[in-house]
Amino acid sequence: MPAKDFLGNTISIGDLVIFMKLNYRELAKGTITKITSHTVVIDTDDKYHHEVRQNHNQVIVQRRTHEEASSGPDATNAGAGL
């Protein structure tokens, strides 16, 4: 079963996502670099935490990778309202 974000969109490597920073009350942006059965690894520009691990449902896909955005079933909702 494919990994799904908080809104139910499929998560792919290379997707730009937004997520809540651990132990903070602010959002951050990053790029998915690895997907496991329960978590995703996100590469960020944060100088203290370059890689962050989050559960699938703790991220929201902001922008799809080009290949999947043009052919994926949820491509019409990609980045809607963000």
Q: Is the pTM of this model over 0.85?
A: no
* pLDDT for position 22: 80
- Apex 64 CA angle, 11 and 51, nearest 5: 60
Residue 76: pLDDT band (50, 70, 90) is: very low
Domain 1-65 fold: SH3 type barrels. (2.30.30)
The three-state secondary structure class of 19 is: strand
- pLDDT tens per residue, range 12-40: 999 999 999 888 888 999 999 999 999 99
